[in-house]
């Protein structure tokens, strides 16, 4: 894998706010690696732009920094296309996007 590219496997969880959001967390060494590279691509509030792929569906989003981890937000259209549900164990392939 090239620098700035990651494969994450994790359970889909929900974070309730005014509208519920679904995420997968990036933890441990991968989160540290992203943190080391993020300065080159990060914009306001530490958001880090990425291109992701789950199954056959590609999309762009930004990682949310949270308590030493990063959260990958899962768009409704992606979840529907790939039949991803709350609690699903999924694999996300992602690459940091330059500013």
Under CATH, domain 5-96 is a member of which superfamily?
AF2212/PG0164-like (2.40.30.100)
Confidence of residue 90 (pLDDT cuts 50, 70, 90): very high
Structural domain spans, the chain: 5-96
If one compares 67 and 40, the residue with the highest pLDDT of the two is: 67
Phi and psi torsions of 21, nearest 5°: -120, 145
Closest CA to 14 of 77, 92, 76, 95: 76
b/e sequence 9-30, b meaning 16+ C-beta within 10 Å = ebebeeeeeeeebbbbbbeeeb
Q: How far apart are CA 2 and CA 86, in angstroms?
A: 30
If one compares 42 and 57, the residue with the highest pLDDT of the two is: 57
Report the percent of the chain where pLDDT is more than 90.
75
How confident is the model over 49-74, as a mean pLDDT? 96
pLDDT of 99 over the 70 cut: no
Residue 75's SS3 state is: coil
Confidence of residue 1 (pLDDT cuts 50, 70, 90): low
């Amino acid at each position: 894998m090239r620098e700035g590219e990651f494969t994450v496997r994790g359970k889909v969880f929900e974070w309730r706010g005014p509208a519920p959001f679904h995420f997968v967390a990036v933890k441990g060494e991968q989160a540290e690696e992203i943190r080391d590279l993020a300065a080159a691509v990060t914009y306001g509030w530490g958001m880090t732009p990425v291109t992701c792929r789950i199954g056959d569906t590609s999309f762009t989003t930004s990682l949310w920094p949270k308590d030493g981890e990063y959260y990958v937000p899962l768009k409704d259209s992606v979840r529907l296309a790939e039949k991803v549900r709350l609690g699903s164990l999924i694999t996300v392939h992602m690459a940091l996007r330059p500013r």
